[in-house]
Amino acid sequence: MNILRTIWNGITTVKQAVTNLLFIVVVVFIVVTLSDVETVNVPDEGILQLHPTGTLVLQRQSTSPFNQIVYGSGSGAETSLAELTEALDRAREDRRIKGVVLNLNDFTGGAPALLSELGSAIDRFRDGGKAVVAFGSSFSQSQYFIAAHAESIYLHNDSVDLFTGVLMSGYGVYPTYFKSAMDRFKVRYHVFRAGDLKSAVEPYLRDSMSTETRQVNLSWLGSLWDEYATTISDSRGLEKVEFTRYTQQYARLLAEYDGDGGELALSYGLVDELISPIEFDQRLERRFDMPGNLQFIDHRDYLTATELTASLENSGTRKVAVIVASGVILGGHQPPGTIGADSLSQLLQQAQDDPNVGAVVLRIDSPGGSATAAEHIRQKILQVQASGKPVVMSMSGYAASGGYWIAAPGNRIFSMPNTVTGSIGAYALLPSLSDALAEYGINTDGVGTTTLAGAMDPFRPLGADIKSVLELSLNRTYSRFVSVVGDGRNLSQTEVLALADGRVWTGNDAMSLGLIDSFGNLEDAVASAALLAGLNNYDVTRLQVTLTPGEQLLSRIINQSIAVCGRWCTVNDPLSWVPGAEEVRWLIQQQSVAARPAIYLQCLECRVQ
């Protein structure tokens, strides 16, 4: 007992020491942040470096500031589309910015429609007469889609990456199927669905993809791939037959070049030159007429430095409010990156109550979720419309199932050609563990006052009455979904039922089926909303869930401290790793939890020195 008591006291002492250390770190953060913070300035003649990290998303998921410090929360694993497009659009009119360099080495991809919108923003920047160039050690499929919008693409001539050159592997859907495993363990799944092609339940019913689902998936994946192929071919002046040969016969072609993916990509015109980083600097000096004086500014720093100017320019009275609905649809209040019925409804109410807001654009990126929550949001949208303010829908990466439920009432619906939408149907999936437990002699028995008492207990078999209740409820939800689509899109029940089999569509298909009105990005949706509201001169305001004062202060302290610590290097070339806020977070997240406070203190020591 004495030994155990000593161990316990030791653990308590260590716990107190760690707690005290974390408290000291937070205090140091506050002192550093509230003291003299270095101001970010835009060079008189500079190059904007677009450096997305992680996944491209419509809205970053909210994370606890404490978790950002101690446990890591993937804060550097997402980049907001809005911050990239906003930086490009501001820089297009900024005489100080001579051009853009795309640094895509840490970019892991995103939904095809989001990639297309980022590509459109790069095209707008180039239309302003400024150049965009890309350089990388290799390019994945998503990275290359963005790089293809550049004027010139350069590839490292001596890359040691596992995959070199340009790897375009295509789109695929490969679910994992569990039926045989569930049968083996005697776990039964009771499936209820309305819409024969609502394929999310198949992994629990089969060991392989059904023929019908295979055909449907090939259809929408083929549409997405055709859109990708068209973009690459048009951007690089490549014949479609050459693109097909490169992507379908890549292994054989790579063998002909002895595994040198760079030379293969160069031979097909996918890149312009194979050069070293030093040679890339020289190309930039000549292209931007900045001999020996290359100055770069990261897009995040550029946004910070130009925020005040942008807010002063957007000071008009009449506004179009943009509200983001990103993530799974759930009830109640939800943080950014998840759609909460109450939190999103509050933003819609805010737009309705503001006399300066003349129209609303709801920016949707959602695979669906709770039908009840979706209907709650739809009712609020109808209220905004009844107040005389049009609500235009701007579909982004996904607007499927519940995502389309909230899109259907829009005055107009915009999507990208490669937006994934549809999935009009409903399903429920309930496991039953009674047979599995019986194998080990575990049984459930008892009494209830009705046939439905304990009916949803997974340890009991699913009774006939509860099955009937679930089927009736699901069919009612499905009928409601059909009515919502019919009312919103002015389609008859027969017309909607022909589309309501749970099938997924791309924007291209959705246009021909009457599920959307036009192709277009956020700017197009905003312009349409302003036109419907009769607004000739207007500004755009983004409404979002506000943090509490305490959350705002803590978040500001942490973000500014990390940003300060991130600027400890001097930029020598556009691809040298210069830690910023996101990179420092990533660096710390790679360390053990115990080591993180020490690393933060080291950053702060660097700042003090």
Which amino acids are annotated catalytic?
198, 401
Place of tokens 């949001």: 377
SS3 category, 405: helix
Is residue 377 exposed (0-12), middle (13-18) or buried (19+ Cβ within 10 Å)? Answer: buried
Is residue 201 exposed (0-12), middle (13-18) or buried (19+ Cβ within 10 Å)? Answer: middle
Place of tokens 């990208």: 416
Between the CA of residue 75 and those of 52, 60, 63, 464, 481, what are the distances in Å? Answer: 12, 8, 7, 47, 36
Taking residue 333's Cβ as centre, other Cβ atoms within 10 Å add up to 14
Report which DSSP code applies to 296.
E
CB 94 within 8 A of CB 122: no
C-alpha span between 283 and 134 (Å, rounded): 11
Name the token pair of 119: 């590509």
C-alpha span between 167 and 250 (Å, rounded): 8
Could you tell me the end-to-end alpha-carbon distance of the chain, in angstroms, rounded to an integer?
Answer: 50
The amino acid sitting at 467 is K
- Residue 166's closest CA among 100, 97, 257? 257
CB 341 within 8 A of CB 66: no
Is residue 141 exposed (0-12), middle (13-18) or buried (19+ Cβ within 10 Å)? Answer: middle
- Residue 417's closest CA among 55, 78, 115? 115
* Residue 311, φ and ψ in degrees, nearest 5: -70, -35
Name the token pair of 366: 């959602």
The DSSP-derived string for 6-30 is: HHHHHHHHHHHHHHHHHHHHHHHHH
Report which DSSP code applies to 567.
-
Between the CA of residue 121 and those of 89, 114, 126, 229, 390, what are the distances in Å? Answer: 7, 11, 9, 19, 26
**Residue length of the chain:** 609
Q: 337: phi > 0 → left, psi -120 to 50 → alpha, else beta; which?
A: left
Name the token pair of 467: 């099955």
Between the CA of residue 599 and those of 31, 562, 565, 607, what are the distances in Å? Answer: 17, 11, 11, 13
Count CA atoms within 13 Å of residue 241 on its CB side: 0
